[in-house]
Structure 1
Amino acid sequence: MSAEEHSTTRTGMAALAHADAGDDFSVIAAIGGPRGIVESMLPGIVFVVLFVIAKDVRLTVIVSAVLALIQVAVRLLQRQSVMGALSGVAAVGICLIWAWRSNEARDYYIFGFLTNAAYIAALLVSLAVRVPGLGLMVEFIRTLPTEHFRAWLDGWRSDRGLRRAYTIITVLWIGLFALRLLVQVPLYATNHVTLLGTARLLMGIPFWALAIWISYLIVATPMHRHKAAEREHADNNRARADTPQEALRED
């Protein structure tokens, strides 16, 4: 992949927002490519392995923090985008601070519990008000409304097929976040740090990749039809706008 291609590669919900039924959808690219996967998983792997070996929470926190900072420094030296790395460092930093202050390795995972619970709450509210949260996110990324918000909102919500697909994937992601909590919180409560860390890793990037892929399969065709309808509507509007001018020229 060239530098130019790499710079335009979309990840996460952005990859889903700009996917099309006629395109080849790459799950690996959507989750950040091999480098993104390594950068996302490495701090967690190091934390678990080092704690199991050393049984020293503070040493584990220090090494994990240094590793996270090195990842950002490498991106800066290579003049690559550091936004993803910085957001990852911020999240890891919060986890490490909690583990450091309590001197409990298991507290490294509390922030993950809180974020998953927050996602569940937000997505449930979105379903309750009939604005599927995943649809809101994907459509916002896809079209970036700067005005006429109500018309933009009604534009995709009035498409029954697309709205149904967004509702389904919103429920799917709620299930993902809930499953993480159901598995990991009991391990936290019983202080099984090694099992908790392993579960966190397995239910992190792998589950995210699976959810992105299933979401694409559900949304791609309705989104393709919706985009085609949008283009047809825009073409009709342009044709109507041009008609008076053509009539005047004929007169």
Structure 2
Amino acid sequence: MHVPDLEQSRPETTGPESLSQLLGGWRASTDATLPPVAFVVGWLVSGHSIGAGAGAAIAVAVLLAGYRLLRGTRPRAVLLGLLGVAVAATVALRTGRAVDFFLVQLASNAASALAWAVSIVVRWPLLGVVVGAALGQRTRWRRDPDLLRAYCRASWVWVCQYTVRVVVFGVLYAANAVVALGIARVALSWPLVAACVAVSAWVVRRSLPADHPGFRHPRLPAPAN
């Protein structure tokens, strides 16, 4: 599951690029693809040794973690990424099935699709929560009916993103297609996230009235006299 990396956000102007940076951009998604690729490569090169694949994935994850820490990424985000790889490797080693390395990814995307859908139903769209937190708006965005509606509509784009992954990963997992899962993991990572960010930004802009100041400036109702 791609978790928006809020510490990478920076003040910008308007447009899809600003929303992309608020949601972590391509960097977090790219980092998440490297350990699974290392697992598949290690598994293939070693003659289908799960131990070799798991070792390669963990080694790459540790190197990435060290690099990101040196670059100033918050330790919590780094440790969560490293923990995810360690859990995936442990599952594959315990079951003895290489394809189970991707089971955690499949489960996390299913959980994400459900969480985003529920957030829309209860009128706390996660896109608004993430962007509002990154901008320091807290819950002010919810008091803007136009912005709340825009975030609800745009959050469905993210539900679709996770659903696409669940369907593709699920089919390949059922077919025991380890190499294809590695390829799909790359193909459905940053390219899909970039498309999702661009489309959701477009939906937000199209959903707001022409005179709205934008998602950085919630339009709050006038206080009652």
TM norm structure 1: 0.71
Aligned length: 214
Query: 1:231 offset after TM fit, Å?
Result: 9.4
Greater shift, 215-224 or 14-23, is seen at: 14-23
Query: 1:72 offset after TM fit, Å?
Result: 2.4
Match of 2:111 among 118, 139, 152: 118
Match of 1:197 in 2: 182
Q: What is the alpha-carbon distance in structure 2 between the residues aligned to residue 181 and residue 52 of structure 1?
A: 24
Greater shift, 190-199 or 67-76, is seen at: 67-76
Q: What is the alpha-carbon distance in structure 1 between the residues aligned to residue 142 and residue 162 of structure 2?
A: 24
Higher-helix-fraction structure: 1
Structure 2 gaps of 5+ residues are: none
CA RMSD, Structure 1 to Structure 2 (Å): 3.3
Query: 1:127 offset after TM fit, Å?
Result: 1.9
Written as runs of structure 1 = structure 2, the 5 A alignment for 1:78-89 is 78=70, 80-83=72-75, 84-89=77-82
Greater shift, 36-45 or 86-95, is seen at: 36-45
Match of 2:128 in 1: 135
Greater shift, 121-130 or 167-176, is seen at: 121-130
TM norm structure 2: 0.78
Match of 2:214 among 220, 225, 238: 225
Q: Which has the higher contact order (CA 8 A, sep 6+)?
A: 1
Aligned residues of 1:20 and 1:224 also touching (Cα < 8 A): no
Written as runs of structure 1 = structure 2, the 5 A alignment for 1:159-170 is 159-170=144-155
Written as runs of structure 1 = structure 2, the 5 A alignment for 1:1-251 is 12=5, 20-21=13-14, 25=18, 27=20, 31=24, 39-54=31-46, 55-76=48-69, 78=70, 80-83=72-75, 84-143=77-136, 145=138, 152=139, 155-219=140-204, 222=208, 224-225=213-214, 227-228=216-217
Query: 1:109 offset after TM fit, Å?
Result: 0.8
Aligned with 2:152: secondary structure? helix
Aligned with 1:81: secondary structure? coil
Q: Residue type of the partner of 1:143?
A: G
Q: What is the alpha-carbon distance in structure 2 between the residues aligned to residue 125 and residue 232 of structure 1?
A: 26
Percentage of matched positions with identical amino acids? 25
Choose 1 or 2 for highest CA Rg.
1
Q: What is the alpha-carbon distance in structure 2 between the residues aligned to residue 172 and residue 196 of structure 1?
A: 23
Aligned residues of 1:50 and 1:60 also touching (Cα < 8 A): yes
1:88–1:112 distance in 2 versus 1, CA, 3 Å = same
Structure 1 gaps of 5+ residues are: 1-10, 146-151, 237-251
